[in-house]
Amino acid sequence: MAGKSAGDPRCRVQAAGLSTRTAAPILGGMKPTAVDEFLQLLRFPSISTSPEHRGAVAECGRWLTAKLAGMGLDAELHPTEGHPIVVARNRHQPGRRTVLIYGHYDVQPVDPVELWESPPFEPRITGDIVFARGATDNKGQIFAHVCGVEETLQRAGDLPVNLIFLIEGEEEVGSSNLEPFLQKHREALRCDVIAVSDTGMVAPGVPTLTYGLRGVAALEVRVHGPSTDLHSGIFGGAVANPLTALSRLVAGLHDDAGRVLIPGFYDAVTPLAPWEREAWGRLPIGDADMQQLTGVPALFGEAGYTSLERVWGRPTAEVNGIGGGFQGKGTKTVIGREGFAKLTFRLVPEQKPEAILEAARADLLRRAPAGVRVEVELGHYGEPYLTDPHSADGQAAQRALEKTFGRKTALIREGGSIPIINTFSRVLGADTLLLGLALPDCRAHAPNENFPLANFEAGIRLNQALLEELARGKA
Amino acid sequence: MAGKSAGDPRCRVQAAGLSTRTAAPILGGMKPTAVDEFLQLLRFPSISTSPEHRGAVAECGRWLTAKLAGMGLDAELHPTEGHPIVVARNRHQPGRRTVLIYGHYDVQPVDPVELWESPPFEPRITGDIVFARGATDNKGQIFAHVCGVEETLQRAGDLPVNLIFLIEGEEEVGSSNLEPFLQKHREALRCDVIAVSDTGMVAPGVPTLTYGLRGVAALEVRVHGPSTDLHSGIFGGAVANPLTALSRLVAGLHDDAGRVLIPGFYDAVTPLAPWEREAWGRLPIGDADMQQLTGVPALFGEAGYTSLERVWGRPTAEVNGIGGGFQGKGTKTVIGREGFAKLTFRLVPEQKPEAILEAARADLLRRAPAGVRVEVELGHYGEPYLTDPHSADGQAAQRALEKTFGRKTALIREGGSIPIINTFSRVLGADTLLLGLALPDCRAHAPNENFPLANFEAGIRLNQALLEELARGKA
């Protein structure tokens, strides 16, 4: 084993508090500070949905702003009614194209925390992989762009485009303060094209351009019964059980074959185009991968579609959480006073989230079982997105991806939602390029979320290729 | 207002740590020490289902044993594989009848603890009412018998019968160690009749003899899907949602009208006798009371029966708790890896708990939705009970009740379960008299459980009348 010196990457990593066992072999061409700083960013528990993490979210935003300012950008942290928004820009020059890179520094909650193999906000590097909440969604991906810009600035003193970084802290809770912010600052944020890395690659090493996303719409249904928990012996039989009623409401969302039963749910759905189904059928992923990735006993979904088609091109109704009554160990013979289910719908063009939420609410209230009171609270929503991957900027993105990865780009849709993309289109009038760096097993939103350092490094290179390719377009 | 002296009940209560505001007006003919000691007994968090309360359960058993020994009884705390059993007896004499008084010192869990208006193990007296977990079920009722025996011993030096107190710590978790204990000590526990106060009065001041109880059988169903929580955008549509599957299983337990759909569930049910339906129809309680007591938006139950008939004479399937996925505030767009529901069935003669559990398990497994794995864990159970209220001892019990309350006894069944009653019959060969002291709004098993001190005092007098009346029977 070679001796270490102060300039050895291993020493730098060790100095950042990591053992050589976990962090040594993976630094490749990256400056070790990029990884060090990525790990620093991951240590902020910036859970935007959780009121008790409000301070941590703000602290994370401040750290990121300081980082961008330190790179020589004009960086500012803008307070909102929710979590603050980071904006940074180089000195814009006339005649250059303006590119806005969007990302988010907030993360999902961590529960069930007991299933994490290491604490979610103490990043662990095993082999090439960083494990931490936010590693892939979205800190790893947005920070690769930050590091790409930093390298260009250090190497060339300027960027080939007018750049705007827009990095928010409320993506995981519906970005509700971003649209007013865009409206207020629409002149300052005007741009020719937007780039986002918050989507996935179909397989390791396969460059991927995402041209469609599902929309999302959330609601919570609560079923109220007795005024207090009741002894199920003393009262059972004479009153409706709110948990039985809740189960009937949830069960009635689908038929046996998994098709959504809400009246009108499928009315506005645009069928998949034949070319898409054919192209997706040739991708190096399929049902076997889906089963292996998810670990389910068997795949299950709408008849007549492949797994990719079900996830990318068909809408869903999902129960994200359910609860009520006694959930501790052992038995407690009660009829609980209430129960709840949290639902989200994933939507495809041309479904309208407001219309779907109203249809779902009407259906739940109409189906309210006897003897209970049903309450529906509508939550956040965002529209589905669909664009043309063969536009001039779409082709520039494909060239940048191919330059970075050395392979032909896969053109896909995705099942997730980035509602703000539609808002960009509406308010800023710009299309969005989705150049994802997440792998299918990165476990976004789940325990043991992770991101390969190879993808982090690829993101740094992709940023540089992308800005070069986009600079060639018409300003 | 009269001055206080050391003998003033208010001073005694104050000395026990209570304010006069809450405890003053209610002591009536009782010695204040009886109430003081009742409150001491309530302070033990003797939650038998909770492993972390194991020590508190044992401590409660020791306290009770010491109390009974201090009264001059031969008292012993018997360890078991679970929680210990208290046995106490006077000096038995030939030619006297032997009466066993059974009760339990363990209590139900306290959640949802946030709905308690005062801490469940810090008894609060408001007006005549003691609020605490276990106040009515069963500490208040069994301790009234203890205090009744103490008064007789202090007044007369002996009891009119050979007495055995048998007070266990596992009633709320199925009494699994009591039957082996009865088997092992069946000679020492041999008796002519058993008395239990762990049931209800139909209304305040109305003496009540319960001649039937429902049985109970518990199971937990768990639905397993993906190997980890999944992002519902990235994977939703391609895998079955375990919470949807769970809801389908729970919903399928009943039809729209509340009738249980498990094949064979009603096969062994004995129909209600015409005399019972007629007698119950004349009781001073009915549907309006049931709705008022429970606070439900509307009553709901099996067609063709009154609320009392549904609760006392018809079987049920209840979900006592359900859970899975994200239950925190806000939204988390996951497909949870698993969900569970805790079920109990209330059973009537001649339903067999083992047969019902097997039928339920088979039904749940047969209905397992596609794409998930269903697991059923069978829990504790006890048989329904039905006896003749017009037997000699039944009539003695009615006389004691009428002497205590000055009114004709209501003959009822109850919806709750005391599985050990059947074991007494089988192992000790003795019938059980159920002389309940709980009121319909005592909130057993629920937040703000309570017991009127008037009922505690009535229990002390009932114990004395009962032992006198039972002493007249054939030994």
A19 and A155, same structural domain? Answer: yes
Task: Calculate what percentage of chain A has a pLDDT beyond 70.
Answer: 93
- Is residue A410, in this structure, part of any structural domain at all? yes
Mutation site, B208, B318, B345, interface A, largest A CB count within 10 A: B318
Q: B355 is in which domain, residue-wise? A: 215-275+303-382
Q: Tell me, what's the pLDDT at B18? A: 32
- Is residue A299, in this structure, part of any structural domain at all? no
Give the residue among B441, B132, B115 at the shortest CA–CA distance from B294. B441
A170 and A108, same structural domain? Answer: yes
A395 and A447, same structural domain? Answer: yes
User: ipTM, 2 decimals?
Assistant: 0.78
H/E element, A168: strand A162-168
Beta-carbon contacts of A219 under 8 Å, excluding residues fewer than 6 positions away, are A342, A343, A344, A357, A360, A361, A376, A377, A378, A379
Q: Do A296 and B372 touch (CB under 8 A)?
A: yes
Rounded to a whole number of angstroms, the distance from the CA of A332 to the nearest CA of chain B is: 7
Residue A271 vs residues A309, A356, B378: alpha-carbon distances, Å: 10, 17, 47
B215 touches chain A (CB under 8 A): no
CB count within 10 Å of CB B460 equals 24
Residue B177 has pLDDT above 50, yes or no: yes
Contact between A196 and A102 (Cβ < 8 Å): yes
Using an 8 Å CB-CB cutoff, list chain B residues near A49. 328-332
**Secondary structure class of B14 (helix, strand, coil):** helix
Mutation site, B334, B365, B450, interface A, largest A CB count within 10 A: B334
Report the alpha-carbon distance of residue B171 to residue A322 in Å, rounded: 30
Torsion of CA B446, B452, B455, B457, to 10 degrees: 130
Q: Do B370 and A346 touch (CB under 8 A)?
A: no
User: What pTM value is reported for the model?
Assistant: 0.78
DSSP labels, A354-382: HHHHHHHHHHHHHTPPTTSEEEEEEEEEE
Tell me which residue has tokens 């993506």: A171
Give the residue among B384, B330, B79, B407 at the shortest CA–CA distance from B212. B384
Report the alpha-carbon distance of residue A153 to residue B413 in Å, rounded: 84
Rounded to a whole number of angstroms, the distance from the CA of A230 to the nearest CA of chain B is: 6
Two tokens, residue A409: 């780009």
Q: Do B333 and A339 touch (CB under 8 A)?
A: no
A289 touches chain B (CB under 8 A): no
B300 touches chain A (CB under 8 A): yes
Residue A310's pLDDT band (cuts 50, 70, 90): very high
Of the residues B356, B382, B408, the one at which a domain ends:
B382
Average pLDDT over residues B122-149: 97
- Is residue B288, in this structure, part of any structural domain at all? no
Two tokens, residue B239: 């895998």
- Is residue B286, in this structure, part of any structural domain at all? no
- Is residue A308, in this structure, part of any structural domain at all? no
B224 and B102, same structural domain? Answer: no
A258 touches chain B (CB under 8 A): yes
- pLDDT tens across B320-355, in order? 999 999 999 988 899 999 999 999 999 999 999 999
- pLDDT tens across B184-228, in order? 999 999 999 999 999 999 999 999 999 999 999 999 999 999 999
Q: Do B253 and A244 touch (CB under 8 A)?
A: yes
Mutation site, B220, B296, B309, interface A, largest A CB count within 10 A: B296
Q: Which of A107-116, A437-446, B71-80, B445-454 shows the lowest per-residue confidence on average (mean pLDDT)? A: A437-446
Residue A210's pLDDT band (cuts 50, 70, 90): very high
B235 and B168, same structural domain? Answer: no
Q: What is the CATH number of the domain that holds A71?
A: 3.40.630.10
Q: What is the CATH number of the domain that holds A362?
A: 3.30.70.360
Q: Tell me, what's the pLDDT at B31? A: 66
Average pLDDT over residues B362-376: 98
Pick from A108, A238, A290: which is nearest to B332 by CB? A108
Tell me which residue has tokens 């809408």: A315
B285 touches chain A (CB under 8 A): no
Report the alpha-carbon distance of residue B177 to residue B61 in Å, rounded: 15
CB count within 10 Å of CB A368 equals 18
Residue B26 has pLDDT above 60, yes or no: no
Using an 8 Å CB-CB cutoff, list chain B residues near A344. 232, 331, 333
Using an 8 Å CB-CB cutoff, list chain A residues near B244. 250-251, 253-254, 318-319
Q: Tell me, what's the pLDDT at B29? A: 59
Whether residue A350 is preceded by a cis peptide bond, meaning omega within 30 degrees of 0, is yes
- Is residue A140, in this structure, part of any structural domain at all? yes
B41 touches chain A (CB under 8 A): no
Scan residues 302-331 of A and list those with Cβ closer than 8 Å to B: 302, 307-308, 310-311, 314-316, 318-331
B222 and B145, same structural domain? Answer: no
Mutation site, A219, A229, A230, A234, interface B, largest B CB count within 10 A: A234
- Amino acid identity of A473? G
Rounded to a whole number of angstroms, the distance from the CA of B442 to the nearest CA of chain A is: 10
Residue A427's pLDDT band (cuts 50, 70, 90): very high
Q: Do A322 and B246 touch (CB under 8 A)?
A: yes
Of the residues B382, B416, B443, the one at which a domain ends:
B382
Domain count, chain B: 2
Pick from A253, A329, A446: which is nearest to B228 by CB? A446
Of the residues A353, A382, A411, the one at which a domain ends:
A382
Rounded to a whole number of angstroms, the distance from the CA of B270 to the nearest CA of chain A is: 16
Q: What are the b/e assignments for B109-146, b being 16+ CB within 10 Å? A: bbbbeeebeeebbebbbeebbbbbbbbbbbbbbbbbbb
Instruction: Pick the residue from chain A with its C-alpha nearest to B137.
Output: A231
A154 touches chain B (CB under 8 A): no
Report the alpha-carbon distance of residue A131 to residue A110 in Å, rounded: 13
B460 and B351, same structural domain? Answer: no
**Between chain A and chain B, how many beta carbons pairs sit less than 8 Å apart?**
380
Residue A138 has pLDDT above 60, yes or no: yes
Rounded to a whole number of angstroms, the distance from the CA of B362 to the nearest CA of chain A is: 19
Report the alpha-carbon distance of residue A193 to residue A411 in Å, rounded: 19
Rounded to a whole number of angstroms, the distance from the CA of A174 to the nearest CA of chain B is: 9
- Is residue A40, in this structure, part of any structural domain at all? yes
- pLDDT tens across B32-44, in order? 689 999 999 999 9
- Is residue A118, in this structure, part of any structural domain at all? yes
A101 and A197, same structural domain? Answer: yes
A129 and A262, same structural domain? Answer: no
Using an 8 Å CB-CB cutoff, list chain B residues near A298. 240, 370-371
- pLDDT tens across B71-120, in order? 999 999 999 999 999 999 999 999 999 999 999 999 999 988 999 999 99
Residue A98 vs residues A195, A208, A426, A474, B463: alpha-carbon distances, Å: 11, 23, 17, 10, 90
A339 and A261, same structural domain? Answer: yes
Pick from B49, B243, B293: which is nearest to A322 by CB? B243
Beta-carbon contacts of B317 under 8 Å, excluding residues fewer than 6 positions away, are B253, B254, B260, B262, B265, B343, B345, B360
B129 and B263, same structural domain? Answer: no
A173 touches chain B (CB under 8 A): yes
B269 touches chain A (CB under 8 A): no
Average pLDDT over residues A420-428: 92
Q: Do A339 and B322 touch (CB under 8 A)?
A: yes
Two tokens, residue B17: 């740590």
Q: Tell me, what's the pLDDT at A362? A: 98
**Secondary structure class of B60 (helix, strand, coil):** helix
Pick from A227, A237, A328: which is nearest to B301 by CB? A237
A226 and A172, same structural domain? Answer: no
